[in-house]
Amino acid sequence: MTETRDAIFMQQALSQAHNAWALGEVPVGAVVVKDGEVVATGFNQPIGTHDPTAHAEIMALRAAANILGNYRLPGCELFVTLEPCAMCSGAMMHARLARVVYGAPDPKTGACGSVVNLFEQEKLNHHTEVLGGVLADECSTLLKRFFAERRRAAQKLIDQATGTTRD
């Protein structure tokens, strides 16, 4: 039951990731859930907003805190398509989330075990349950497609500038 429930919310996070892609942002999406209901959503927007903190998770946490009228989000879960970075993980702990569920691992900046695991730091005063790998293939594929498309577009510009033709 939990596995199916997690997949449903991760699908909603994937939908948010498509919103980011549509704006030319790295396609990462997030959903905050409380008592089985979506409270808030978010997607990556740092480029368009000129805000380095405008990650999907932060956008969803801000919206949820505003909707619930509290900077603390006890009993809430956050579903995100990519393993959170250190900034987002810190914000999640400060928000007192009960649970974080992510899709694809992030071998470059992941703070849930890929690079570091902030959630396992015993000295911290709040501990959030973390589950990774939910719809990991779908989440990873979306990111790979996005970056492949960007590389093709960049190569096309180079080819146009140099007069190169490709078969």
Catalytic residue IDs: 57
The closest alpha carbon to 67, from 31, 93, 110, 16, belongs to 31
Strands of the 37-43 sheet, one edge to the other: 37-43, 29-34, 76-82, 99-104, 129-132
Max distance between CA atoms of the chain, in angstroms, equals 59
CA distance 70 to 68: 6
